[in-house]
Structure 1
Amino acid sequence: METAERKIDLFEVAEIKLSYSAIVKNSLRPKVSSSRQVYEVFAKAWDQDGIEFVEDFKVMLLSRANLVLGIVNISSGGTAGTVVDVKLVYAAAIKANSSSVILAHCHPSGNLLPSEQDKRLTQRIKKAGEILDIPVLDHLIMTAEGYYSFADEGDF
């Protein structure tokens, strides 16, 4: 039996092509410049029937001019928490060509104060963003009746 030998050229590499195709014109994108505006945009994207039921974690992707490129649902969990994979946060940010991100998650309990776990997660995501040059501008805790901004409260 003869085996077919293939010669491998180590100087040839697969080509990877990066592209970005916007669906929405910049003039139609909302611009955010305060935590209140961020809350209002997130609130429109949140399932209001589920905000008091399960904990969700979302990321707002922003252009350099703070135009909203999109909102990505990273995870959905139970009544007391959800698992957030930092790689998924930045995979979405890189794919959308984001210049920065804003994090948000809901507390079904209605409690607006961040837990120690919320603070640790925020710091982990911020560290990854520093390395990738995609900073986290804020992290909001959402409830049916209001929000808590890490940046406004000095927890950043």
Structure 2
Amino acid sequence: MRFFTVLSSLALAATTFAAPSIVVHNNCDFDIFVTSVGQTTGNTNTVQPDTLWTEEEYFQGIGTAIKIGRTAAALWTAKPTLHFSYTYNKGQSIYYDLSTAFGFDFWGEKITVKGDKDKDVPSIEWDGAPEPNHTLSYSGETGLTLEVCAA
């Protein structure tokens, strides 16, 4: 019995201290290319159709921008790039927005940002065209999922 209690406590501690995740779900019928940019720029990752890309939410003194393009070089060649940006304040809040740079490459495709299903997190929804940029926030901990070509 004591062994089970220790394992349960360890499992609870692991979930208590783990940061929520940022998820990009590619629901398109084409590859997208995702790059995480904070104080440093991460690798550009190919996300194939019906595949997820994920990273733990983090804060390095500045916000984080998840940059998505239709080509691997979009971010580096001033091609249309979708920006899913957030500022994470562990345990307290997350601020997030959706914007574009150098045009928009997802015309006619629905794009959504949603929080954890069991929480009342304000969502962002673009229905085939970009919307004006405005920042939303959630008080507390939540993961965020950006779905490109949402159903």
Q: TM-score, normalised by structure 2?
A: 0.34
Q: Tell me which protein shows more helix as a share of its residues.
A: 1
Larger Rg: 1
* Larger fraction in strand: 2
